[in-house]
Amino acid sequence: MPELCWRSAENRKGLRDECVTMRILADENFPGTAVDELKKRGHNVVWVRTAKPGIGDRAILEWAQTENRLLVKRDFFTEGNKGKKG
């Protein structure tokens, strides 16, 4: 998994790189190994599988929006999940 770091123009003389830390909401079906790796790299990750298992897609999307988190999923929102409330 690539780092989210870069060197600014004034930082090319060997000074510390600038890095981005993201706020991520990982859907229930997102791989645990990927969640662990993102956490190891310093990102703020909440995994639905451990935080609120079984909630619907709409509730997950609202949660991500409310907490300003990037939502990562392995599947698409499905018609059957549209009406579920979490």
Do the domain assignments include residue 62?
yes
Q: Is 39 helix (H, G, I), strand (E, B) or coil?
A: helix
Q: How many domains in the chain?
A: 1
pLDDT: which is higher, 21 or 68? 68
Tell me the residue range of the domain where 66 lies: 22-81
pTM exceeds 0.75 for this model: no
Q: Is 47 helix (H, G, I), strand (E, B) or coil?
A: strand
| Per-residue confidence (pLDDT) for residue 6, from 0 to 100 | 57
Q: How far is CA 65 from CA 16, 24, 29, 72, in A?
A: 32, 11, 19, 12
Give the whole-angstrom CA distance, residue 71 versus residue 32. 15
| Per-residue confidence (pLDDT) for residue 10, from 0 to 100 | 57
Do the domain assignments include residue 68?
yes
pLDDT digits (tens, 9 = 90+) for 12-64: 555 556 677 899 999 999 999 999 999 998 899 999 999 999 999 999 999 99
